[in-house]
Structure 1
Amino acid sequence: MKEFTIEKNDAGQRLDRFVTKTVPLLPASLLQKYIRLKRIKLNGKGAKQDAKLALGDNIQMYINDEFFEAPSEENAYLKITEPQLDIVYEDENILLVNKKAGVLCHSDGAWSYNTLIAHIQAYLYAERAWRPREENAFAPALCNRIDRNTQGIVIAAKNAEALRVMNEKIKNREVEKYYLAVVSGPMRPAAGKLEGYIFKDAVKNQVFVSDRSVAGSKTAVTEYRTLAVQNGLSLLECRLITGRTHQIRAQLSHAGHPLLGDGKYGSGKTNRQYGENGQALCSYRLVFGFKTDAGILQYLSGREFKIAKVDFVEKYFNIN
């Protein structure tokens, strides 16, 4: 139990707002529940959440210690009582989740609890598949990341050995990643390979593509094939050979076929023509093509997982 005495600067505010400020990790649903159950008391008695606080009031909080910790990415899961996840596959070692466009994989500098990793950890915590107070070091972690505005499958490891093996397989390119992309105009040829060099401007958080090597650049290779052409748009399946930042978006733009809805590398005119402000890119399929032993994950070798429905495919091509 923790006690707080209301000082001059806190007098006059509501009880629930004081608790929210004092215990930032406490979810709103638990705050309401704890007030109702009198686990949060005002001057030794139960009180309503809109009770006004006065100078010298005493507040007692019967709340677990972890909720009083300073907010960080490591404890953001505590803020989530109803995890929002679209699970593609799960077993005792890994979790494959369909990340929605607009969702961050991790916090982007400022603390945020509404990230994919926080929802995954909250889900595993609620399912008792992860007991953070009993773990010495490991917390469920992401093995790959996807841009905020891109939909797709993200791999999460439930234990340290699964994380080590999966990271090694991704590094050695034994996990094949396929994307669906809608671009402007027909590709010529209809299937092929985009090869070039990418260098990143960290200040602008933007990459640039060159046909020749320049200082600081890295090779970038993307295979593609056309699946459909309709109404001035092409649906492509792209396979990453290398995994550079914004690789598909930047290479398609450099090739003269910008991604539909892409606000950074795309065509504003084309985006306005189709009324599209969400980029039509989805990491929809994973193939675990292990070439060497995968230890505890060997059972995944040769298996393929994909997202059953991709909205922009149905919207523009009526296929999936």
Structure 2
Amino acid sequence: MSITIPILAQEPDFIVVDKPAGLDFHSQDGSAGLVQLVRAQTGLAELYAVHRLDKLTSGLLLLARSSAAASALGELFSQHQIRKYYLAISAHKPSKKQGKVRGGIEKGRGGSYRLVREGGQLAITQFFSYGLGEGLRLFALKPLTGRTHQLRVTLKSLGSPILGDNRYGGSESDRGYLHAYELAFSLHGHTYHYQCPPSTGTAFLTTACSAQLASLGSLDALPWPAA
């Protein structure tokens, strides 16, 4: 089955795409991954990955259009100068409604990761949560680090595993409810700001969720807890 990747912006240095949920980032077992599909779709042979999203995660992704642009964007990511914001939905109420989670991420069993008080790679995530009714909660997430499975592990640690995230104890659902919603950064004197609402997932597309997102506006402007 052919998959069309939504192209949200084409800039001189990079393009912005909306990654579908359930699609592997890299090609696997003969199936084309995101980067290969975008290359074929756009005819841009030179596309470089500068960050990635898990298979279950949808949303905003940057692909550099040259090795020089990849180096510049990679440097911004490494210096935490690209502000990333995610949405998640859980069927479980968190231990606290907003705040910051700080700990170490280390490998667990079977390809999973876990949050530990000491050791591991430092992971810091700021968050707000909002009730959506019917037992669901929407999370606005701002990761200050970029560890493997960071947001998935963080929400599990709050007692609110992501809906559809079977690896970390999330309730069964039609998809994994983690979405890269907003990106903001400056490059070569230009300021860029992208926002991409989720386009799939029954829980993301409810009236309650849409209304909450409309009331929040830009997540970049929220009064985030102190880092």
* Shared fold (TM-score, shorter chain, > 0.5): yes
State the match for 1:307 in structure 2. Answer: 196
AA matched with 1:315 = T
Which gives a bigger RCO, structure 1 or 2 (Cα 8 Å, sep 6+)? 2
Contact residue 228 and residue 236 of structure 1 kept, 8 A: no
Q: 1:282 aligns with which of 179, 204, 207?
A: 179
Contact residue 198 and residue 220 of structure 1 kept, 8 A: yes
State the match for 1:122 in structure 2. Answer: 40
Matched, 1:103 2:23: yes
TM-score (norm 1): 0.60
AA matched with 1:257 = S
| Structure 2 gaps, min length 5 | 214-227
CA deviation after TM superposition for structure 1 residue 283, in Å: 0.7
State the match for 1:254 in structure 2. Answer: 157
TM-score (norm 2): 0.83
Number of positions where the alignment pairs a residue of Structure 1 with one of Structure 2: 209
| Structure 1 gaps, min length 5 | 1-79, 133-138
Structure with greater Cα Rg: 1
Matched, 1:196 2:114: no
Instruction: Rate the CA distance shift 1:83–1:278 in 2: closer, same or farther, 3 A.
Output: closer
Distance in 2 of aligned mates of 1:213 and 1:286? 30
Distance in 1 of aligned mates of 2:122 and 2:207? 32
Matched, 1:149 2:149: no
CA deviation after TM superposition for structure 1 residue 231, in Å: 1.3
Instruction: Give a deviation string over 1:71-90, Cα, whole Å, max 9, x none.
Output: xxxxxxxxx9x772211211
Q: 1:207 aligns with which of 113, 116, 122?
A: 113
CA deviation after TM superposition for structure 1 residue 318, in Å: 4.3
Distance in 1 of aligned mates of 2:154 and 2:198? 25
Relative to its length, the structure with more strand (as a share) is 2
CA deviation after TM superposition for structure 1 residue 230, in Å: 1.4
Distance in 2 of aligned mates of 1:252 and 1:99? 22
CA deviation after TM superposition for structure 1 residue 315, in Å: 3.3
Contact residue 83 and residue 122 of structure 1 kept, 8 A: no
Distance in 2 of aligned mates of 1:277 and 1:124? 29
State the match for 1:171 in structure 2. Answer: 78
Identity %: 25
* RMSD of Structure 2 on Structure 1 (CA): 2.2
AA matched with 2:204 = V
Q: Which runs of 4+ in 1 moved over 4 A?
A: none
Distance in 2 of aligned mates of 1:318 and 1:248? 19
Describe the SS at the equivalent of 1:167. Answer: helix
